[in-house]
Every structure is written in structure tokens, then in C-alpha cells.
Structure 1
């Protein structure tokens, strides 16, 4: 089943690429409508928008998902429910494609909600307490975005149709459109895990590694960015623009710092995804939507490759994810180490890999723009932090001594995983220049002073040196240097965002529920309903029991009592 799905998805990915070239060269957009129900003047229509952007994005989603399914054929081969896993992944991909091709906010909600529901099923795939907690956090965080999309549907009822694409150009200054873009930004922030909704992204690492490769590259987390790219015309005039820029810049900064305190291999890569999402959202809030789309696609390739390499290493290390137990893997699994190092370098923006073309262009546009020093600092410091945790990860995995507790046989016998990784390795090398030629009709030439032009190289060198020095320091001196107790908790635990978004909210709601049960359900309601009725019936049953004893004195007394009451009422 895996191989059939792989060839099926790969074939459609190639077809999408040729269709993208056709639409781009002829400057065409296809808008298709399928009438589902027509009753008098009521028509329910399913709409599809196919342009160069949706075709290119679909090509990337289908290519990565085909490679991930091929990879899962080996990675999940010991799973008894492999077919169920593949069906869930296909549902996930279908939901994302529905979101990509929808010009209608109703069908966007279907794809959006499908992503949330299937992601919950995939996060709890390994059924244990940690997975259930992570799944609930993921699902409930994404429900906020679903509610925002429902609010958009309600506000779109002010217009004749839910096809939002018709109203973007000439309703820019309308009050309803301002409210709609406010809800769209909030929905995108939840799906793309910006502050204060960041805590679900590292928690979603409870899912199997092939799912993580798919989620963090081209599907779930990029849905919010893609939605904002579609609504980019409204974003330029929005009053939420500066707030989005600030929050996404802080997300980028926070994720970069937290990754340097983390020891879980998958969580480090997840936090790097969070940092890159902050970069995409912040460049979107500056108005450069084409650059955000460019970085979204280049990032998808090397991030999927990074997760697949991590899955291979976790597989080889007997399901150990702590990087302190690893080391020297380059001697045992050289091909996987090659893929990991190249994807890490692409993430850092080393010339001339895929990440370089988009990150360098983004940072030069930041230098070229007239934003303040705070935004400039956030961008360049976060870039330095990316190199910092990438070098740290490489040293812990490749250079340090082998630290696994038991002697374990490391080998690369699984060529299915290797072949799937090499497909993405090829794309991670060429996709930057390839997309640069396709997306931009003319090359961007940005003229800056020499030191500003070289600023990216400077921060990369400084970040790499710091990562090398601190990773090679003694652990005790490192604790003295970095791990001031409160500071390390604050920085290493994502600025307490997991606690704020789970324990604090849960504590308030659960304590309020406890007080309600104590004072109302078990308080006066109990006395006036359940317990009170029981006491009244119990007392009446004692009286009825006396009557049932056939005591002549009781019957005579009750007869005289009723006669007296009747006489009293007759003479009143």
C-alpha cells in the first residue's frame, strides 16, 4: 500500500509542476465552480482556485508527502496498524490540498478543521499519557483558530458570497474587512504557533517522526502562513500589522534561545521550525508576501529532511531521543550524517544551499527597510541563534564520544529510508536557486554598505563560534555560565508559555468547577433536590408506616382531626 501511494502522490506532484509552468508562462488563473445543489434561487457551489501559487505549493506538499510515505514503509514496518497510519497521513494531505485550492472561506474551514482533527489523531497515535496530553494541547490550541475562521464566516455574511477572493481588492478599507483580517491573523497565529500559542508545537513531537517531517515542513504549521499570503492585500492596511511583526519577531527570538537549552533531538528541530515560522510571519507583516512564500517552500525541503535524519538516528539509537546519549554517529551512519549536516547547513543559510537564497534575501530586505533597531536586532540575533543550536546539535551528534548506555549495533542497512532522504537531499541543494528563478520575474539586487551586506556572515560566524565553544565546555562550568536557575527555567521552557497555556488555564477552570460542585451541586441544590427530597420522603414514609400498622387510635385521631378542620373552614 505504501509503494502504491508513493507512486500515486509522486505522479501528481510531477503533474502539478508541469501545470504550474503552464500557468506561470501564460499568466493564467483557473477558477472552477461545481454546483452541488440548486433549489430555486439557492445554490450551493464548490469552488476551486488554481493559479501558479497553489500549483507550486501543491507540488511541494505532494512531493514531501510521497517521500514521507515511502520512508514510513520502512520506519513503521513493525507497526500492526500501518494501513491505518497511511490513511491518516493521506487524509492529512487531502485536508491541506483542500485548504490550498479554496477561494471560499467555507471550504477553507473544512480543510482547516480537517488538519486539526487528523493532527490530533496522529499526535495520539502512540497511545500513552504523554501523547494524550500533547494531543489535547494541540487540538485545543487549534480550536481557537477554528473559532476565528467561524467568526470570519459570520462577518462574510455581510457580503453576497463567501468567496473572499472577490472582495480583497475593492473592500480594503471596509470595516467588515478590517474585522475579517483581524480574525484571520489570530487564526494564522494559532495554526503557525506564534506567541502566545507556541506551546503546542514542541508538544506535537509525540507523533511518529514521519508525521513530524510532514507537519513541520509543508502542512499543518504552514497553513496559517499560506492563509495570510492569500489575504496579503488586506494585511498591508491592517492595524494588526505592527502587533504581528512584534509577536512573530519575539517568537523567532524565543524559539532560538529555547533550542539551545533543549536536549530532546526532535524538540530542537521543532523549535527551529518555530523560529522559521516567526521569520515567515514577520516578513509577511512587512508586506513581502512573495519572500514569505519563497522561504516557506525552501524551508519545507530541508526541514522534512532534518526530521527524517532524526528519525533514522532515533531508530538506530534504540529509540533514544536525548542528544547527550548520542555522539560519533558519523562513523557508523555516514550517509545519514551527510544528509543531516547538509540540511543543517541549509537551515543556517550557508551559501549556496536552499536556505541561503531565501534567508539572505529576507535579511537584506530587513536591512533595506526603515524599521527600528529593535526589529533589526531580533532578526539578526535570531539568525545567529540558528547557527548556534545547529552547531551544538552537530557537535553532540557527530563529534562527541558515543555515550549510549548499552553497546548497540549502529548500521545503515535500511536503504528505503536512505533513498527517500537522498530525494529530499537533492531538492534541499537545488530548490533555492530553482525557485528563485521561477517565482521572481527579475532578480532582486539590493545595494547596501559593505558591513551591512556582510552582516549575515558576521552573525553566522559569531553564532557558530559560540555554539562550538559552549558545546565543548565542561558541563559544570556550562551550568555556572548559563544555568542560573530562574533564568534557565525562563529561557529553556519557552518563557513559561507551556505552563501559561496549560496549567494556569486548567487550574483556574478546574478550581472554578470544584467550587461550583462544592457550593451548588453538593450544596443548596443537593439540599433542595436530591438529598432534600430523600429526607422529606423518608420522614413521610415514617408517618405512612404508622398508618399502615392498623392502629385504631391513630385512625380515630386522624378522623377527629379532619372533622375539626372541616368545621373550622365551614364557619370561617
Structure 2
């Protein structure tokens, strides 16, 4: 037991130290607007030089600092959450490998080295999702890895197209040659890869399924690393996306994703899946604001969202841990009386998600909505933004009521307490950043203040839809009209919305079954049919029958040979 906590402490110190180093380097690079390219010649053979290129700028350094900070807190938290696991060392090594893959992806301006980090994220996320080896985990892991492989294929095709330019360093090409057909194809392929990794429609079903992984994995993988890799790639490729004209499609896809996930979270009862759908909604928000040509704003929301969403997953892990691995919010309630410190962290992270003033989420979400109100977007995109904001407040208040403030539905045999200090210290480190991180990051990303002038209605519209959504969430969860009655009266609608518009069915049975049935037909008709008749099995039968006939002559009397010879001569005379 001692050596397991020692490994977590050493990993925590190591990651936290490098997080601080990268943060101060990021400040220096941001103030002086510095960007470094570092070329490392791996080896040179027959005048062929294999060079590894790294890009260091303020975006890269701040994002690495954030990922390392969250990773350090998650590993410290894991010392308490995974306390009884006999494979603790394996878990820590997998998390560290995951962080290493993310670091490689962040610092790479080269499609080849990005692919190494990209595939590393996909492989290790699969190993982490199937960490609890049961049927549900295996199914979720297979759905996760196959969905991400589609993006990997697009990435490989993009690498092949980059051969036309003589280099895979995409940063040299994103600002010009936008009218060439090659860059339009590369732009489409990168958008497709980012959509699969960041779980945009129609590839959204793998993210809630991946909640089969341990909760510390969800706090790291599904808040600031794996799912944000696609957003980070789009931030790097943003000039190319805007210039090639794919931004309108990305705006529609991002808006549909955040609306669909926000609506589905209001009909979900699994605690971790609600938080996963919340993550999906915020990813759609980042993708849609990227399509409007605002990569700095998307990066700002990416960092603030990672802080409070990791805290939200960690609080959910403490609740699940105390309730004996129960994740259904209908069996919770009144936990504020039993877990006061965890409840405080849970409420802070949820309020930051809703955009409560002066918490981390307020600075980015409110700015995004105000910039959207100033932009020339159509009414559909405008409604996607503000209706999704109201839905966020709706499912957040519903979650708080069911888990914290509602009637207690706990088992009388449970022993619930805030006594695991490993988990609490990890969460308290995140609470500090969830409260102050928004203002700190805004001073760094937007050092020059800007004035946004809007009419009074548009200026207050974000608060109005938030309060309206919160009121509807409380009315349906704690009032006379509850979600159970809605589910009974409107079964088809509830099933449609709660199943993410049938996307899990489409991604599994709907997509796989036609290929399985056609594959079965091809196997029976060709592989086991004509190909066998005229192929290996047919040749085998001919040789076997010929050998048996030959063997018949060899094991018989001389008269058999004479009769065969006479028959052969007569046949020859008749022919000629």
C-alpha cells in the first residue's frame, strides 16, 4: 500500500513541477511574442536525414502546462480512488503514457509526429476504457477505438496528400495557397479527423460509452486531453479552414452537437454520462466558435472548460466511490448532508459550467455568446447557441437537485464520509483554478481589454436563458411535473432524445449489421462456394480422385493393366 501511494506522489511532483515550468515559459513567450522551431535530427543515412520538428509558442506551452497540472491532480486523486486496485502501477504508467502522447501531439507542427501522438492517444485510451475487464468495457472500448480509427484513416490520407508540397510541416502552408485543390482536400480531411476525435455528430456515441473507464481516466481523458485533441488541431489549422470555405459546415455540425447533447443530458440518469454529454456540448461550442474564425476564444474556453470539467468528474468519482459504485442519480439525494466538502466542489464546478459570474466558465462562455450576438450568424446558429446555454443550466440544476438537494434515496447500509484526503486534496487543487482560472487565463490570452457594445436585450440574453433553463430544470425535477411522468407519457420522444438521436444504434448495429450480413453472403457464395469449387477444394478433390484411380491400378492384377491397355488402343483407333 505504501509503495503505491509513493508512486502516485512521485508522479504528482514530477508533473506539477513541469506544469509550473511550462506556465512561466508560456508567460515569457506570450509577453515577448516568441515562437521557436526546434529541429532534432534523429539519424542520417545515405544523405537522407530523418528530422523531428517541435514547435514552441505560447499556445503550446500554456496547453501543456494545463494538461500537466490536471494530470498531476488526477494522479494524486487516483492514490485514493484506486487504493484497493492490485494493478495500480499499470494504471499510473498508462496515464503517464497518455500524457506523453498528448505532449507529443501538442508540440508537433508535423503531420507525421502528430500522427504518433494521435494514434498513441487512441491506443492508450482504448486500454484505459477496457481497464475494468467486463463486457460493457470491451464494447465501449471497441466503439471508441473504431470511431477514432476513421479519423486516423483521414489523417493518413492527409499525410499522403501533403507529399505534393515536399514537407509535412503544415504550419508553413496554412496561411497561403488556399485556392489549391490539395489544401482544400487536406482541410476537409483534418476536419473529419477532428470530428471523430472530438465526438462531433455523427461520431458522438463513443464519448458517453467511454465512461466505462475509471473515473480518474474520465477526469483526465474526457476533459482536457483526448476529446480536446481535435479542437486543438482545428486551432492550428484554423486559417486553412476559414480560407477554404468549410467553416459554415463546421458551424452547423458544432451547433447540432451542442444542442443534441444538451437535450439528451436532460433525459439521462447515469451520473457520468450526464457529465460526458455536458463535455460533448462544450466541444460543440468550441467547434462552432472556431468556425467563426476565433481560435483564441476557442482556446480560452478550452482551457477554462478543462479546469472545471476535470473537477466535476473528480467529484462524481468521490460520490460513486462512497455509494458503492452506484451511478444512477435516482438512488442519490441529500448528499450535501453527508459529503459537505465534496458537495461544495461539486456545486462550484456545476456553477462554473453554467457560467456563474466570476467563476471560470463565465469569462469564456459569456464572451462567446456576446461575440456571437455581434457576428453575422443566421437565426438557426443563434438559436443553437442560446438554447444550448439554457439546456446547460437545465440539466445542471436537475443534476444538483437529484444528487445534492433532493429527497434522500440512499441505502441505509452505506457509510458515507469525506475522509479520503488523497481525493479531497486533488479536488481542492482544482477548485482553486475553477474559481480563479477564468480571470487568470483571460489576462494572459486577451491582454488588451476590449469593449463589446450590444443592445440591452442581447446583453442580458445570456443571463435570461440561463435563469430560464435553471427554472425549467428545477420545475421538472423538484416540482409537480417530474421527468418520470414525462418519460411515461412521451415514451417515443424520450427514447429518441435520451438515445442521442439513435446515434449509438447507428454507430453499432445500424452501421455494422449491413456489413456483417453482406460479408456473410460473400463468404458463403464465394469463399465457401465458387472459390472453393474452382479453387483449393476443387483441385484437392480432382487430385484425390485421380490418386485413388491410380492406386486402383497399382493394387490390382496384370489383367487390369491389359484391359486398360486394350481399352486405350481401341479408343485411339476410334479417334483416328
Give TM-score, length-normalised by structure 1.
0.96
Name the residue aligned to 2:311. 305
Q: Matched residue of 1:145: which SS?
A: helix
Q: Matched residue of 2:232: which SS?
A: helix
Q: 1:76 aligns with which of 78, 82, 94?
A: 82
Q: Matched residue of 1:45: which SS?
A: strand
> What are the residue-to-residue correspondences of 1:369-384 with 2, within 5 Å?
369-384=375-390
Of 19-28 and 385-394, deviating more is 19-28
User: What do the CA deviations read for 1:339-358 (whole angstroms, capped 9, x no partner)?
Assistant: 00000000000001000000
8 Å CA contact retained: 2:372, 2:382: yes
Name the residue aligned to 1:364. 370
> What are the residue-to-residue correspondences of 1:16-35 with 2, within 5 Å?
16-35=22-41
1:550 Cα offset (Å): 2.9
> What are the residue-to-residue correspondences of 1:140-219 with 2, within 5 Å?
140-219=146-225
User: What do the CA deviations read for 1:140-198 (whole angstroms, capped 9, x no partner)?
Assistant: 11111111111221111111321111222232333322221111111111111110111
Q: How many angstroms apart in 2 are the aligned matches of 1:551 and 1:40? A: 72
8 Å CA contact retained: 2:394, 2:473: yes
Q: Matched residue of 2:225: which SS?
A: coil
User: What do the CA deviations read for 1:371-430 (whole angstroms, capped 9, x no partner)?
Assistant: 111111110000000000000000000122222345211111101100100000000000
8 Å CA contact retained: 1:169, 1:233: yes
Of 21-30 and 456-465, deviating more is 21-30
Q: How many angstroms apart in 2 are the aligned matches of 1:162 and 1:258? A: 40
Q: How many angstroms apart in 2 are the aligned matches of 1:282 and 1:541? A: 72
1:473 Cα offset (Å): 4.2
Of 179-188 and 6-15, deviating more is 179-188
Name the residue aligned to 1:452. 458
Q: Matched residue of 1:352: which SS?
A: coil
Name the residue aligned to 1:491. 497
Name the residue aligned to 1:394. 400
| Corresponding position: 1:52 with 2:58 | yes
Name the residue aligned to 2:410. 404
Q: Matched residue of 1:157: which SS?
A: helix
| Corresponding position: 1:111 with 2:117 | yes
Q: 2:43 aligns with which of 18, 37, 44?
A: 37
Q: How many angstroms apart in 2 are the aligned matches of 1:163 and 1:522? A: 48
8 Å CA contact retained: 1:172, 1:233: no
Name the residue aligned to 1:428. 434
Q: 2:513 aligns with which of 500, 507, 514?
A: 507
Q: Matched residue of 2:164: which SS?
A: coil
Of 423-432 and 170-179, deviating more is 170-179
Q: Matched residue of 1:36: which SS?
A: strand
Name the residue aligned to 2:4. none
1:553 Cα offset (Å): 4.6
User: What do the CA deviations read for 1:430-464 (whole angstroms, capped 9, x no partner)?
Assistant: 00011111111212211111111000110011101
| Corresponding position: 1:137 with 2:143 | yes
Q: How many angstroms apart in 2 are the aligned matches of 1:21 and 1:456? A: 32
CA 477–312 in structure 1, closer or farther in 2 if over 3 Å, else same? closer
Name the residue aligned to 2:292. 286
CA 198–483 in structure 1, closer or farther in 2 if over 3 Å, else same? farther
Name the residue aligned to 1:247. 253
CA 475–160 in structure 1, closer or farther in 2 if over 3 Å, else same? same
Q: 1:266 aligns with which of 261, 264, 272?
A: 272
Give TM-score, length-normalised by structure 2.
0.95
| Corresponding position: 1:465 with 2:471 | yes
User: What do the CA deviations read for 1:13-65 (whole angstroms, capped 9, x no partner)?
Assistant: 00111111111122211111111122454221111111111110000000000
8 Å CA contact retained: 2:178, 2:244: no
> What are the residue-to-residue correspondences of 1:534-553 with 2, within 5 Å?
536=542, 539-540=545-546, 543-544=549-550, 546-547=552-553, 550-551=556-557, 553=559
- Give me the CA root mean square deviation: 1.8
Q: 1:559 aligns with which of 565, 569, 575?
A: 565
Name the residue aligned to 1:66. 72
CA 483–300 in structure 1, closer or farther in 2 if over 3 Å, else same? farther
Q: Matched residue of 1:494: which SS?
A: coil
5+ residue gaps, structure 2: 1-6
8 Å CA contact retained: 1:470, 1:478: no
Name the residue aligned to 2:102. 96
Q: How many angstroms apart in 2 are the aligned matches of 1:114 and 1:63? A: 20
Q: How many angstroms apart in 2 are the aligned matches of 1:444 and 1:162? A: 37
8 Å CA contact retained: 2:475, 2:481: no
1:118 Cα offset (Å): 0.7
| Corresponding position: 1:125 with 2:131 | yes
8 Å CA contact retained: 1:95, 1:111: yes
8 Å CA contact retained: 2:476, 2:483: no
Q: 2:228 aligns with which of 210, 219, 222?
A: 222
1:551 Cα offset (Å): 4.3
Q: Matched residue of 2:133: which SS?
A: coil
Q: How many angstroms apart in 2 are the aligned matches of 1:432 and 1:172? A: 35
CA 476–91 in structure 1, closer or farther in 2 if over 3 Å, else same? closer
Of 36-45 and 465-474, deviating more is 36-45
1:93 Cα offset (Å): 0.5
Name the residue aligned to 1:416. 422
CA 47–480 in structure 1, closer or farther in 2 if over 3 Å, else same? closer
Q: Matched residue of 2:44: which SS?
A: strand
8 Å CA contact retained: 1:13, 1:58: yes
Q: How many angstroms apart in 2 are the aligned matches of 1:40 and 1:554? A: 72
CA 529–167 in structure 1, closer or farther in 2 if over 3 Å, else same? closer
CA 134–478 in structure 1, closer or farther in 2 if over 3 Å, else same? closer
* Alignment length (residue pairs): 570
